[in-house]
Structure 1
Amino acid sequence: MPHIAVIGAGQAGASLVARLRTKGFDGEITLIGAEPVPPYQRPPLSKKFLLGEMAEERLYLRPAAWYAENGITLRMGDAVEALMPAAREIVLGGEVLHYDQLALTTGALPRHLPAAIGGDLGNVFGVRNLADIEIMAPHVRPGARALIIGGGYIGLEAAAVAASKGVQVTLIEMAPRILQRVAAAETSDYFRALHQANGVTILESTGLERLLGDRDVTGAVLSDGTHLDVDFVVVGTGILPDEGLAEDAGLRIENGIACDAQCRTSDAAIWAAGDCASFPWRGGRLRLESVQNAIDMAECAADNMLGLERDYDPKPWFWSDQYDVKLQIAGLNTGYDRLVTRRDDKGARSHWYFAGDQLLAVDAMNDPRGYMVGKRLIDAGRTADPARIADPSVDLKELMKG
């Protein structure tokens, strides 16, 4: 009986094994994960779970019993020791597993602070997995003082939750503005003002010199010489593709595990999907870090493992919840040269990115209609008249008819 093994039990791995069964694969499936719990959602970790509004079991993508009912063997809490593509073997827990096909859905690893500047002190937290949040949660309490390092979405979401719990929050960002890598200055301005209105101190063009403390962190010295007293630190400086196992096995690496258009790696029996994988896109290579990409790319890989031979055509979308604002993003703004802003009298706002006359992406803040219309246009390869977008008297649905 053919055996498909999947290394990495996050959103991508869980989506891939479910797709295999949905598409009729009746061989053996083994899903291997380093964490001791079934696959779970990561986005709520730094939001509802940290706020105490969601129980751990509600994070699970499927009940543990579902995997057994569908003939999927879970190997949780097992870190793979070696991958040997020539023999089609995986070594874990002193055991050798043979596979006929393998999928790598290993996700990404958080960037850590170097020990030389205090990154090994106690109460310095990441926000990548369930264990990180469980350890951090007791420290997120009224009156505590937190330093958050990094002004991307990870850092901003952590800041929003901490401030909502009464923590005194200082957020630092080395770049000239928050969200500089991913959004226009207008979106940065919107979220800077939102956080400042909720009591967060945001320091841009400011880095970390070092953390202070003997065992646990007690303070921080910033790049401008400022000294802060802190009770805990959240490191939100981004993630890196978890490509080490693939690299050691001799697979091609290029901004993650390099795949072809059908999610196949440089080894014909090995596929990859999710945060760890890059794929051909517009003459270059792209790696996306999102739930949407994890699901869609994993399902494409599963289809191609079963011989369907379809290319992966991403339709990027993202979201972020901060305080009472839901940010929804459609498309990718790479290469934009013009931004159009739309506002209404109810507080909805959206930023529309254009390259020439072509609509590339939309940032929608509490504007679900703007997001929906923008996404449909972008997914269809269509565009819209910027002047009509900016005019609040124009019904956005009319743009779909243009």
Structure 2
Amino acid sequence: MDKIVIVGGGECGARAAFALREMGFDGVITMIGAEPHFPYERPPLSKSGLAGPPRYVANPERYEEEKIDILVGVPAEAIDRQAKQVRLSDGRTLFYDKLLLATGARPRSLPGLSDRSSGRIRMLRSLGDAGAIRKALAPGKTLAVIGGGFIGLEIAATARNLGAEVILLERSPRVLSRGVPGEIAEVIAERHRQGGVKIMCGEQIASVVDGSDEAQILLANGATERADLVVVGIGAVPNVELAEAAGLLIDNGIAVDGTLRTSDPDIFAAGDCCSFPLSLYGNRRVRLEAWRNAQDQGTAAAANLLGRGEGFAGVPWFWSDQYELTLQIAGLFDDAATTVRRSLDERAFILFHLDGEGRLIAASGVGPGNAVARDIRLAEMLIAARRRLDPAALACSKTNLKKLLAA
């Protein structure tokens, strides 16, 4: 094997390319990126990236040093599995021995709107999006955010820090309704209210009108909200079109096995675009849109492109920074039978989630700065070790989690 092609110019693809070199692969590595930029980190786009320069995964010189050929601004258009070729938008054809699809995901469109409306209605996925949104974040401007998930709330916090007025609309009864416990979501929502964000939950949107002077959001109840800019942040859709056209199995993303191999033995997929069986949770098939997962799966895919056949068994981990608060979640808590609260101080706490057999399956926490980081990291290790724990011990702030791990 001497040619590996990686389709996707983001965190996952870049991590895989560098990991291949670290693991001793000395053949040809070609990365294909649709955007006209070297790979950059997407999480900061809704935070510091709205207020400052991008954060690149690696300096451009490092790709040259590691002999990684990277093509930017050239989308892949088709995969010929029989000939083992990838056709690019400029007409070029690349041959591969092994292929990695790290095509990521794109923002979900609001029904009735195109993927890209005019200047006053935006979605956030790329550097170009961040730059356009940044121009509208200033004192005297009003931003309307549709969607009360991580992205929407992070944009709202950044906008308030830059002086803009913010309206946030969420159709569910509360913000962070997917993947975050209600107790923690309420802490985040209250901090936004204190920061001046107008949060409107349970609101159904009838239409969004892009006018010459303002955007108007027409609600199902007849009310109208006005803003200088509307940002739609209602989730993401995996980019599976290339894989689907090539006949690969699709199941809430490009379906892969425990080694990240697709239904074609010479093609792997990793990151936001793929769904995979999570062994820690009974091989439940999941798709994770998370920075850590993109990194970890990039490294795991590199190993398995080289034939190591290693199963991927990472603990899901998510985080979000909003104002001075940091929210962290390790594991999946939706099947928890018991939840106990552990107070760290007056502003920080962790919820431990156990299944019916007393096994720790998730931990979620919130607090200023790094207040919950250490305990969430230890909880992550306890989850990976499949530990059964005493709920009362977890709830007690004097219990040393490191000692529980060592026991």
Alignment TM-score, normalising by the size of structure 1:
0.94
The amino acid of 1:371's aligned partner reads I
- The aligned amino acid for 2:238 is P
Tell me the equivalent position of 1:197: 194
Relative to structure 1, the CA distance from residue 213 to residue 354 in structure 2 (aligned partners, 3 Å threshold; closer, same or farther) is same
Give the 3 Å change call, closer, same or farther, for CA 112–215 of structure 1 in structure 2. Answer: farther
The question of whether the paired residues in 1 share the 8 Å contact of 2:120 and 2:210 is answered with: no
Of the three residues 204, 208, 216, the one matched with 2:205 is 208
Could you give the per-residue CA deviations for residues 250-299 of structure 1, whole angstroms, max 9, x where no partner exists? 11101100111111111111111000011123243111111111111121
By how many angstroms is 1:341 displaced? 1.5
- Residue type of the alignment partner of 1:108: A
Instruction: Report the equivalent of 1:91.
Output: 87
CA deviation map 1:202-246 (0-9, x unaligned): 111112211123356422112222211211011110101100000
**1:144 aligned residue:** 141
Between the aligned partners of 2:144 and 2:3, the Cα distance in structure 1 is 47
Q: Which residue of 1 aligns with 2:131?
A: 134
Partner residue, 1:34: 34
Distance 2:345 2:254 in 1: 46
Residue identity in the other structure for 1:326: T
Partner Cα distance (1:264, 1:35) in 2: 25
Q: Which residue of 1 aligns with 2:72?
A: 76
Q: Aligned ranges for residues 240-389 of structure 1 at < 5 Å? A: 240-281=237-278, 282-356=282-356, 357-366=358-367, 367-389=372-394
Structure 1 position 395, deviation (Å): 4.2
Output the aligned Cα RMSD. Answer: 1.8
The worse-fitting range, judged by mean Cα deviation, of 363-372 and 42-51 is 363-372
- 2:218 corresponds to 1:221: yes
Q: What is the one-letter code of the residue matched to 1:364? A: G
Structure 1 residues 116 and 292: alpha-carbon distance in aligned structure 2, compared to 1, 3 A threshold: closer
Equivalent residue, structure 2, for 1:6: 6
Maintained 8 Å contact 2:76/2:87: yes
1:336-391 CA distances to partner (integer Å, 9 max, x unpaired)? 13221222334221122222212111112132232122122112111432222223
Question: In 2, are the aligned partners of 1:156 and 1:322 still within 8 Å (CA)?
Answer: yes
Between 214-223 and 97-106, report the one with greater CA deviation.
Answer: 214-223
The match for 1:172 is 169
In the TM superposition, what is the alpha-carbon distance from 1:91 to its structure 2 partner?
Answer: 1.0
Q: Is the 8 A contact 1:122 1:216 kept in 2?
A: no
* Distance in 1, Cα, partners of 2:345 & 2:18: 44
Which digits, 9 at most, give the CA deviation of each residue in 1:118-153, with x for residues without a partner? 972422121211111011111011121111111111
Asked if 1:391 corresponds to 2:396, the answer is yes
Distance 1:166 1:210 in 2: 27
CA shift digits 1:172-223 (9 cap, x unpaired) = 1111211111122112211111111111111111122111233564221122
Alignment pair present for 1:61 and 2:84: no
Aligned-partner Cα distance in 2 for 1:48–1:219: 28
Q: Tell me which amino acid in the other structure corresponds to 1:195.
A: H
User: 2: distance between equivalents of 1:318 and 1:133?
Assistant: 21
Q: Give the whole-Å Cα distance in 1 for the aligned partners of 2:406 and 2:64.
A: 48
Alpha-carbon distance in structure 2 between the residues aligned to 1:400 and 1:17? 34
AA paired with 1:252? Answer: L
Give the SS at the match of 2:364: strand
Name the SS for the 2:135 alignment partner: helix
Q: Aligned AA for 1:225?
A: G
Which shifted more, 23-32 or 307-316? 307-316
In structure 2, relative to structure 1, the CA distance for the partners of 1:362 and 1:82 (3 Å cut) is same
5+ residue gaps in structure 2? none
d(CA) in 2 for partners of 1:369 and 1:112? 37
What is the alpha-carbon distance in structure 1 between the residues aligned to residue 307 and residue 116 of structure 2?
A: 46
Residues 317 and 283 of structure 1, relative CA distance in 2, 3 Å threshold: closer
After TM superposition, the runs of 4+ consecutive aligned structure 1 residues lying more than 6 A away are none
Is contact 2:120-2:215 (8 Å) kept?
Answer: no
Instruction: Find the residue that maps to 1:344 and give its secondary structure.
Output: strand
Provide the residue aligned with 1:106 in structure 2: 103
- Give the 3 Å change call, closer, same or farther, for CA 295–344 of structure 1 in structure 2: closer
In the alignment, the residues of structure 2 paired with residue 196 and residue 119 of structure 1 have an alpha-carbon distance, to the nearest angstrom, of 30
Q: Which amino acid aligns with 1:359?
A: L
CA offset digits 1:305-357 (Å, max 9, x no partner): 11111111122211100000011211111311322122233422112222221
Give the aligned residue type for 1:27: G
Counterpart-to-counterpart distance in 1, 2:268 and 2:147: 32
Distance 1:117 1:25 in 2: 43
* CA distance, structure 2, for counterparts of residue 45 and residue 218 of structure 1: 23
> In 2 relative to 1, CA 131–383 (structure 1 residues): closer, same or farther, beyond 3 Å?
farther
Flag the 1:395–1:259 CA change in 2: closer, same or farther, 3 A: closer
Task: In structure 2, give the amino acid aligned to 1:363.
Answer: S
Q: Is the 8 A contact 2:109 2:115 kept in 1?
A: no
In 2, the alpha carbon distance for the partners of 1:276 and 1:237 equals: 17
CA distance in 1, matches of 2:250, 2:210: 39
Distance change >3 Å, CA 342–CA 224, structure 1 → 2: farther
